[in-house]
Amino acid sequence: MNAIWNGTEATVETDQETAKASGVRIERENHKLEKRLCRQVGQAIMDFNMIEEGDRVMVCVSGGKDSYGMLDILLKMQQRAPIRFQLIAVNLDQKQPGFPDHVLPAYLKQLGVPFHIETQDTYSIVKKVIPEGKTMCSLCSRLRRGILYRVADELKITKIALGHHRDDMLQTFFLNMFFGGKLKGMPPKLVSDDGGHIVIRPLANVAEKDLARWAAHRAFPIIPCTLCGSQENLQRKQIGNMLREWEKKYPGRIESMFTALQNVVPSHLMDTTRFDFKNIKTTGIADPEGDKAFDAESFDTPPFAGVSGLNGLQVVTL
């Protein structure tokens, strides 16, 4: 009996020790994730001068993991930053059927962050104008953008922060290349189309998978988008699936592609408006790295693997 009891007691103690060790490991991983997110957001803010002394930053919060994560990290950065700036969370309630309009106000009040809820029935407009089954994103985005610019003026906002992350930027780059015929991405900072606002993307360096992990850790009250989030087969979804497949098969490829967006070599592309090919002349000055004009590029791993299914488009192995 004592042996059985002792054995049971030992098992219980072992289980408790295992659970404790697991908890410590999870806590350590979450701490590392927080440090990485803060470092990446801080780096983007410094590299592109996103936030300056005295700024009033409008943090656009949709109820999704990305905008929650952006607000959460910016609040942490606000406490640590060597400059003073204000954060005002803004949500646009588009009157989507079933939208839980109590969730965000309750969460933002709990945080103690200043916020503004703008209510505009863009849902009815989009549903009336866009035929059934067609993509709503473009019109919805234009309507939302115009409303947010007006709200920014009313609140005397100096910067508008959007929650687009690194994966969004890469998806936009490939969308423009595959379907738009342009080498064009999503800038981390820009002047709005109306010329009156500066838009910033503090999550420019952040991976979507890290935001998903942070959202789970922080237990954000996620609100799904029932207007366009239910639309399948969008080109952006297809590009997203392609990138995830690449990352799964070839770890590190996403990081390499994102780095490429920051290392553009106009002289090795074909845009005559970006490089004056017509007036190239000899200089008589040797390249310090030697004659490599005709050398083939060398890569440690194959640059691309075959991926199909992009509306008939194939990316073949080089």
> Which regions in the chain score pLDDT beneath 50?
1, 3-5, 229-230, 232-233, 301-318
Q: Dig out the tokens for 275 from the structure.
A: 């490089």
- DSSP label of 33: H
Pick the closest to residue 187 from 176, 171, 199, 178 (CA basis). Answer: 199
pLDDT for 167 equals: 95
pLDDT for 285 equals: 86
pLDDT for 215 equals: 97
Q: How far apart are CA 257 and CA 263, in angstroms?
A: 10
CA distances from 211 to 25, 164, 165, 216, 257 (A): 19, 11, 9, 9, 19
- DSSP label of 306: -
User: What are φ and ψ of residue 88, in 5° steps?
Assistant: -125, 115
**Domain range annotation of the chain:** 34-259
In terms of phi and psi (left: phi > 0; alpha: psi -120 to 50; beta: otherwise), the region of 226 is alpha
pLDDT for 19 equals: 62
Architecture of domain 34-259: 3-Layer(aba) Sandwich (3.40)
Give me the DSSP letters along 167-232: HHHHHHHHHIIIIIS------SEEE-TTSS-EEE-TTTT--HHHHHHHHHHHT------SSSTT--
pLDDT for 132 equals: 73
Q: Dig out the tokens for 200 from the structure.
A: 């910033």
Q: Dig out the tokens for 8 from the structure.
A: 């049971």
Q: Dig out the tokens for 256 from the structure.
A: 């390499």
pLDDT, tens digit (0-9, with 9 covering 90-100), for 184-203:
999 999 999 889 999 999 99
pTM: predicted TM-score of the whole model, two decimal places: 0.81
